[in-house]
Amino acid sequence: MEIAELLLLLMLYDAAWSGDWSRIGAITKDTELLLQKLSLVPLIGHVVTAVGAGVLASRKGKSPVVPAIKGYLFGALGLYEEQYSR
C-alpha cells in the first residue's frame, strides 16, 4: 500500500513538473499547470504528517528521524504506522 501511494505521488509530480507528459501530448499545458498547483496539497500534507509522526515517536521515547521520513514519504500511512506502533 505504501509503495502504491509513493508511486502515485511520483507520477503526479512527474506529470506536473517534468514537461514530458505535455510534450508528448498525454496532457495539455493547462492540465500540467493545474497539476502543478494541485501537487502542493500532498506536499504540504506529507510535511505535516512527517512532523506528526516525529512528535509521536518522540513522545514514545524513540528517535523521530525514521518515523518522520516515513510520514513524509507515505503520508497518513506513515503516521498511522507510528501511532499504532509500540
Mean of per-residue pLDDT scores for the chain: 93
Q: Which residue in the block uniquely carries the three cell numbers 497518513? A: 76
Q: Locate 12 and state its grid cell.
A: 503526479
Diameter of the chain by CA atoms? 51
Strands (E), the chain: none
CA distance 35 to 32: 5
pTM (predicted TM-score): 0.77
The total of structural domains in the chain comes to: 1
Which domain does 44 fall in, by range?
Answer: 2-83
In the prediction, which pLDDT does 65 show? Answer: 96
- The per-residue pLDDT for range 27-56, each reduced to its tens digit, is 999 999 999 999 999 999 999 999 999 999
At residue 8, the pLDDT reads 93
